[in-house]
Structure 1
Amino acid sequence: MSEGPVSRALAMCSSEEADLLRLEEVFSTTLARTNSLILQPLISGDLEPSDSCDRECLRLLQQLHESAQRLWEVTEQSLRSLRQRLYHPPSIGLEALLLLRNADYVLQAHMEYIKSYTDCVVVQAFQRVSKRRSEYWRSQRKALRQLLSCVSPEGSVGTTMCQALHQPLAQHVQKYVLLLLSLRDTLDKCHPAQELVMHAVTLFGNLQSFMRQALDQAVATQALWHSLSSRLRDVLCSPTHRLLQDSQDIPVGVTPLRAERVLLFDDALVLLQGHNVHTFDLKLVWVEPGTDKCVLHILTPEEEFSLCTRDPQSQVLWQWKVTQAVCQALRGKKDFPMLGSGREPSVPPDCRCVAYTFRHEGRLCQATYEGEWCRAKPHGKGTLRWPDGRNHVGHFYRGLEHGFGICLVPQASEDKFDCYKCHWQEGTMCGYGICEYGTDEVYKGYFQAGQRHGFGVLDSAPQASQPFRYTGHWERGQRSGYGIEDDSDRGERYIGMWLADQRHGPGVVVTQAGACYQGTFQGDKMAGPGILLCEDDSLYEGTFTRDLTLLGKGKVTFPNGFTLDGSFSSGTDKGLYTQGVLDTAALPPDPCSTRKRQLGAGAFPVESRWQGVYSPFRAFARSGCPGELQEALLGFHVQSSRELRKSQEYLCCERSHPEDCEGSMEDILQELLLHREPKALQQYLRKALSNSRHPLGKLLQTLMLTFQATYSGIGANKHLQGMAQEEVKQHAQELWAAYRGLLKVALQRQGQTLEEEDIETRDAQVHGLLLPLLLPNFYSELFTLYLLLHEREDGLYSQGIANLSLFPDTKLLEFLDVQKHLWPLKDLKLTSNQRYSLVRDKCFLSAIECLQKIITTVDPREKLEVLEKTYGEIEATVSRVLCREHKLPMDDLLPLLIYVVSRARIQHLGAEIHLIRDMMDPIHTGGLHDFLLTALESCYEHIQKEDMRLHRLPGHWDSRELW
Structure 2
Amino acid sequence: MCSPMEAALLRLEEIFSTTFIQTIHSILQPLVLADPEPSDPCGKECLRLLQQLHENARRLWEVTEQSLLSLRQRSCCQRSTGLEAVLLLSNTDRVLQAYVEYTKSYTDCVAVQAFQKVSKKRRSQRKALWQRSSGISEGLEGTTLCKDLYQPFVHHVQQYMRLLLSLRDTLDENHPAQKLVMCAVTLFRNLEYFMKQALGQAVATQALWHSLSSRLRDVLCTPTRRLLQDSQDIPVVVTSLQAERVLLFDDALVLLQDHSVHTFDLKLVWVDPGQDKCVLHILTPEEEFSFVASNPKGQIAWQRKMTQAVSQALCGKKDFPVLGSDQEPSMPPECRCVAYTFHREGRLYQATYEGEWRQAKPHGKGTLKWPDGRNHVGDFCQGLEHGFGICLVPQASEDKFDCYKCHWREGRMCDYGICEYGTDQVYKGYFQAGLRHGFGILDSAPQAPQTFRYTGHWERGQRSGYGIEEDRDRGERYIGMWQADQRHGPGVVVTQAGDCYQGTFQGDKMAGPGILLCEDDSLYEGTFTRELTLLGKGKVTFSNGFTLDGSFSSGTDKGLYTQGVLDMAALPPNPSSTRKRQLGLGAFPVESRWQGVYSPFRDFVRLGCPGELQEALLGFHVQSSRELRKSQEYLCDERSDPKDCVGSMEDILKELLQHREPKALQQYLGKALSNSQHPLGKLLHTLMLTFQATYSGIGANKHLQEMAQEEVKQHARELWAAYRGLLKVALRHQGQSLEEENTETRNLQVHGLLLPLILPSFYSELFTLYLLLHEREDGLYSRGITNLSLLPDTKLLEFLDVQEHLWPLKDLKLTSNQRYSLVRDKCFLSATECLQKIITTVHPQEKLETLEKTYREIEATMKRVLGPEYKLPMDDLLPLLVYVVSRARIQHLGAEIHLIRDMMDPIHTGGLHDFLLTTLESCYEHIQKEDMRLHRLPSHWGPRELW
User: Match for residue 59 of structure 2?
Assistant: 70
Per the alignment, residue 441 of structure 1 pairs with: 425
Q: Would you say the 8 A contact 1:382–1:395 is kept in 2?
A: yes
Q: Which among 265, 277, 282 is matched to residue 249 of structure 2?
A: 265
8 Å CA contact retained: 1:130, 1:158: no
Check 1:629–1:651 CA distance in 2 against 1; reply closer, same or farther (3 A cut): closer
AA of the residue aligned to 1:777: S
- Is 1:903 the counterpart of 2:903? The answer is no
- Secondary structure of 2:373's counterpart equals coil
Q: Residue type matched to 1:387 in 2?
A: P
Q: Is residue 94 of structure 1 aligned with residue 78 of structure 2?
A: no
Give the alignment's TM-score, normalised by structure 2.
0.97
Contact 1:335–1:341, Cα closer than 8 Å, also in 2: no
1:560 CA displacement = 1.0
For the pair 1:948 / 2:932, whether they are aligned, the reply is yes
Q: Shift of the alpha carbon at 1:833?
A: 5.0
Counterpart contact for 1:324–1:340, Cα < 8 Å: no
Q: Within the alignment, does 1:117 sit opposite 2:106 as a pair?
A: yes
Superposed counterparts of 1:8-47, under 5 Å:
12-46=1-35
Q: Secondary structure at the match of 1:949?
A: helix
Unaligned runs of 5+ in 2: none
Q: In the alignment, does 2:277 pair up with 1:307?
A: no
1:477 and 1:659, CA in 2 relative to 1: closer, same or farther beyond 3 A? farther
Deviations 1:94-129 (A, max 9, x none): 321111111111111000000001111111112222
Contact 1:564 1:582 in 2 (8 A): yes
Q: Does 1:692 align with 2:676?
A: yes
Q: CA deviation at 1:643?
A: 3.2
Partner residue, 2:578: 594
Conservation of the 8 A alpha-carbon contact between 1:537 and 1:595 = no
Q: CA deviation at 1:131?
A: 3.5
Question: Quick one: structure 1 residues 560 and 629, their matched pair in 2 at CA, closer, same or farther if it must change by over 3 Å?
Answer: same
User: Alpha-carbon deviations, 1:867-896, whole Å to 9, x = none?
Assistant: 111112222222332214333333211111
Contact 2:133 2:146 in 1 (8 A): no
Alpha carbons of structure 1 residues 817 and 653: separation in structure 2 relative to 1, 3 Å = same
Structure 2 residue aligned with 1:463, among 433, 447, 452? 447
> For the structure 1 residues 510 and 344, does the alpha-carbon distance in structure 2 shift closer, same or farther, using more than 3 Å as the test?
farther
How far off is 1:922 after superposition?
Answer: 0.6
**Distance (Å, rounded) in 2 between the aligned partners of 1:19 and 1:376:** 55
Summarize deviations over 1:835-890 as a string: whole Å, max 9, x none: 43222222222221211111110010011111111112222222332214333333
Q: 1:357 and 1:659 mapped to 2: Cα distance?
A: 40
Q: Does 1:420 align with 2:409?
A: no
CA–CA distance in structure 2, aligned partners of residues 607 and 205 of structure 1: 80
Separation in structure 2 between the aligned mates of residue 676 and residue 263 of structure 1, nearest angstrom: 69
CA–CA distance in structure 2, aligned partners of residues 728 and 345 of structure 1: 67
One-letter amino acid of the counterpart of residue 393, structure 2: V
Q: Deviations over 1:712-750 (max 9, x none)?
A: 111111111111101100110111111111111111111
Deviations 1:400-441 (A, max 9, x none): 111111100011111111111111111111121111111111
Give the distance between the partners of 1:63 and 1:896, measured in 2 at CA: 107
Residue 333 (structure 1) shift: 1.1
CA distance in 2 between counterparts of 1:827 and 1:653 reads 68
Find the aligned partners of 2:138 and 2:97 in 1 and give their Cα distance: 34
One of 385, 406, 409 as aligned partner of 2:369: 385
Provide the aligned length of Structure 1 versus Structure 2: 947
CA distance in 2, matches of 1:659, 1:286: 43
After the TM superposition, which residues 652-663 of structure 1 pair with which residues of structure 2 at under 5 Å, given as runs?
Answer: 654-656=638-640, 661-663=645-647
CA 692–653 in structure 1, closer or farther in 2 if over 3 Å, else same: closer
Give the Cα separation in 2 of the matches to 1:697 and 1:238. 61
Letter in structure 1 aligned against 2:73: Q
CA contact (8 A) 1:659 1:665 kept: no
- SS of the aligned residue for 1:637 comes to coil
In the superposition, the TM-score normalised over structure 1's length comes to: 0.95
Change (3 A) 1:142 1:555: closer
Aligned 8 A contact 1:127 1:159 in 2: no
Shift of 1:268: 1.3
> What are the residue-to-residue correspondences of 1:272-283 with 2, within 5 Å?
272-283=256-267
Q: Which residue of 2 aligns with 1:218?
A: 202
Where in structure 2 are the equivalents of 1:610-625 lying within 5 Å?
610-625=594-609
Residue equivalent to 1:406: 390
Q: Say if 2:137 and 2:203, in contact at 8 Å, map to a contact too.
A: no
1: CA distance between counterparts of 2:360 and 2:139?
Answer: 48
Partner of 2:701: 717
CA distance in 2, matches of 1:140, 1:403: 64
C-alpha distance in 1, partners of 2:24/2:520?
Answer: 107
SS at match of 2:233: coil
Taking the aligned partners of 2:144 and 2:188, their CA distance within structure 1 comes to 26
The AA in structure 1 aligned to 2:487 is R
- Conservation of the 8 A alpha-carbon contact between 2:132 and 2:143: no
Distance 2:883 2:138 in 1: 131
Q: How does 1:806-821 map to 2 (within 5 A)?
A: 806-821=790-805
Q: Which moved more, 1:529-538 or 1:843-852?
A: 843-852
**C-alpha contact 1:127 1:157 (8 A) present in aligned 2:** no
1:827 alignment partner in structure 2: 811
Q: In the aligned structure 1, how far is the partner of 2:430 from the partner of 2:59?
A: 63
Structure-2 separation of matches of 1:35 and 1:326: 36
Which shows bigger deviation, 86-95 or 606-615? 86-95
Matching residue within 459, 469, 485 for 1:475? 459
Kept in 2: contact 1:130–1:157 (CA 8 A): no
1:262-290 Cα offsets, whole Å, 9 max, x none, are 11111111112122211111111111111
CA contact (8 A) 1:245 1:264 kept: yes
SS in 2 for 1:638: coil
**Cα pair 2:717 2:750 within 8 Å, conserved:** yes
The question of 1:773 aligning with 2:757 is answered yes
Helix, strand or coil at the partner of 1:739: helix
Contact kept? 2:464, 2:482, Cα under 8 Å:
yes
CA deviations over 1:268-327 (Å, ceiling 9, x no partner): 111121222111111111111111111111111111111111222222222111111111
Question: Secondary structure at 1:503's aligned position in 2?
Answer: strand
Give the SS at the match of 2:690: helix
Q: Is the Cα–Cα contact under 8 Å of residues 308 and 329 in structure 2 kept in the other structure?
A: no
* SS of alignment partner, residue 551 of structure 2: strand
Shift of 1:520: 1.2
Q: Distance in 1 between matches of 2:726 and 2:303?
A: 50
RMSD: 2.2
Instruction: For residue 460 of structure 1, report the CA deviation from its aligned partner.
Output: 1.2
State the partner residue of 1:486: 470
Residue 928 of structure 2 is aligned to residue 939 of structure 1: no
Which stretches in structure 1 are left out of the alignment for 5+ residues? 1-11, 146-150
Please state if 1:630 is matched with 2:614.
yes
Contact 2:420 2:625 in 1 (8 A): yes
* Offset at residue 226 of structure 1 (A): 2.1
The residue matched to 2:403 in structure 1 has which SS? strand
* Offset, 1:578: 0.7
Deviation at 1:154? 9.8
Compared CA separation, residues 559 and 157, structure 1 to 2 (3 A): same
> Contact (CA 8 Å) 2:323, 2:329: kept in 1 or not?
no
Cα pair distance change 1:459/1:155, threshold 3 Å: closer
User: 2:845 is matched with which residue: 861, 865, 870?
Assistant: 861
- Aligned 8 A contact 1:231 1:275 in 2: no
| Distance change (3 Å), C-alpha of 1:873 and 1:72 | same
Letter in 1 for 2:194: F
Q: 1:107 aligns with which of 87, 96, 101?
A: 96
- Asked if the contact 2:487/2:505 (under 8 Å) is kept, the reply is yes
Matched residue SS, 1:553: strand
- Cα offsets for 1:679-713 (capped at 9, x unmatched): 00000000000000001001111111111111111
Residue identity in the other structure for 2:674:
S
Q: Give the whole-Å Cα distance in 2 for the aligned partners of 1:154 and 1:603.
A: 96
Structure 1 CA distance for aligned equivalents of residues 567 and 137 of structure 2? 132
Deviation string for 1:127-155 (max 9, x for gaps)?
Answer: 2223344762423578899xxxxx99999
Instruction: Provide the C-alpha distance between the structure 2 equivalents of 1:264 and 1:672, rounded to a whole number of angstroms.
Output: 59
2:531 to 538, 547, 567: 547
**Cα distance change on mapping 1:264 and 1:39 into 2, 3 Å:** same
Q: Structure 1 vs Structure 2: percent identity of aligned residues?
A: 82
Partner of 1:58: 47
